[in-house]
Each structure stands twice: as structure tokens, then as C-alpha cells.
Amino acid sequence: MKKIGSQVTIAIDGPAGSGKSTVARRIAEKLGLLYLDSGAMYRAVTVLAIRGKLAADSPELFEQVKACHIEFQDNGKTILLNAEDVSRQIRTPAVNRRVADVAKIPEIRHEIVKHQQRIGGEGSIIAEGRDLTTIVFPNADFKFYLDASVTERAKRRLAELQRQNVEITLAAVEAEITDRDEKDKTRAHSPLRAADDAIILDTTDKTINEVVDLIVATVCNAEIGSK
Ligand code: DC
């Protein structure tokens, strides 16, 4: 087990609305790790598809994905797509609707995974998103799979959208999440699933802080145990 301070990789996986982004961001701040929001990268390339009116599996989109530059700033809070801040655009309902279709294209995944692994090789990180524990960082020092009921996840997503002044009903968010879960779990390439050696945490009845504390305790106890 590696120590925090030497290079460490924590990978967090789980379905939409399981709280993984918020949890990962807070842990990054607490432990001083770089935060890698992998879903934001798939969302950014979905912006390219929408702007170019391109089909997810079109060669034009693939060429744009290969050529584009994606960068995180402000420890994951800001995402730059070809030097343009698209942090807000990647959270719009239009992107929510299209992103699962874009993220299931193997060629696009291949390019994004390469980029993620490069970032992971640069220092200690906490990385979050589908397939992070299984495909991107199969040798991560710590792997967690967060889950929660569909209704609870829809409520969380709704609160997040309301904060951004997006008008949408709980029923619509729940339908969107159910649809995305289905697409993410059944897609042929890198389907959403927990790695065999991941610690599974059901967060339905837990606050964000409780989940953060649980993960930090697990990581720090393992570090103490390794000394
Ligand atoms: O975590 P999120 O809701 O921001 O993810 C957006 C979409 O991207 C979602 O449909 C799952 C997909 N995704 C993926 O396929 N692989 C990842 N590593 C991260 C996200």
C-alpha cells in the first residue's frame, strides 16, 4: 500500500448521481490530491458533437476528439476545451441527453482514456467516473464504488440543476437517470460495473460528509497500517 505523499491513485466509480464528483472533489481538497473528473471529459467532447451537429459515431467527431485539447484548472472545477471554459455548458440538459451515446463509442473512449492515464502518471490523484476502477486505473491503490437508489440520485441531481437555474421536474430527472444507467450498464465497451476488488458504498442514507469521512478513514488507516 502506498503512502499519501508518495504517488497515490484513488479511483471512484459508480452510476450518475451517486455523489462521486462531490465526494472526490472534497477528498482531493482534504488530502491535497489532483482531482480528475473523467465524466467532464466525455461531456466536453459531447459539446463538440452538439456544436458540429455530428453523430456520436461520425469520423468527423472522432477527428475533432483526437485533435482537441482538454485541460483542468482550479483542481477540477474548471474545464477548458481548446482553451475555452466549457464548465457550465457541459452540465446542460442537452449534454445530459447526448453524453451516454458519445461515451459508448470505443474510438472516443480510447482517446479519452489515454489522456486520463497521462494525467494519472503525473502525480497523486483522485479520479472519478465510469470504468475508472476497471479500465483506466485497474491498479489504483484504492478503489471505491458508490451507489444509491434511483430516487435518491435523481433528487441529488435535481438539486444540482436547480442551483444552476435549470428548470426540470424530479420525474424527468429520474427518467433521464434510469435511461442513462441502462445505456451505461449495457453498452458493449467499458460498461458500468464495480471492479471485483472495489469497496462498495451505498450512499442512499449517507450525507456527502459521511461518505468523504469513510473514504478518508479507509485511505488513512491503510497508510498507517503500512507503516
Ligand atoms: O459522471 P457524469 O454524469 O459526468 O458522466 C457523464 C457521462 O459520461 C455518463 O453517461 C457516463 C459517461 N462516462 C463514461 O462513460 N466513462 C467515464 N469514465 C466517465 C463518464
Mean pLDDT calculated for residue range 76-95 = 94
Dist. CA 176–CA 148, nearest whole Å:
16
| Grid cell for residue 171 | 420525474
Question: How confident is the model at residue 224, as a pLDDT?
Answer: 62
Mean pLDDT calculated for residue range 127-151 = 92
In contact, 3 and 223? CB cutoff 8 Å: yes
Centroid of ligand 1 to alpha carbon of 38 (angstroms): 7
Dist. CA 14–CA 92, nearest whole Å:
21
CB 42 less than 6 A from any atom of ligand 1:
yes
CB 184 less than 6 A from any atom of ligand 1:
yes
CB 103 less than 6 A from any atom of ligand 1:
yes
Among candidate residues 10, 2, 20, the one with its CA nearest the CA of residue 140: 10
Ligand 1 atom closest to the Cα of residue 103 is 15
**Backbone CA torsion sign across 186, 190, 194, 100:** negative
Name the residue with higher pLDDT: 215 or 77.
Answer: 215
E-strand spans in 164-208?
199-202
Question: How confident is the model at residue 1, as a pLDDT?
Answer: 42
What is the percent of the chain with per-residue pLDDT over 90, rounded to a whole number? 65
pTM assigned to the model: 0.82
Mean pLDDT calculated for residue range 168-197 = 87
Mean pLDDT calculated for residue range 162-175 = 92
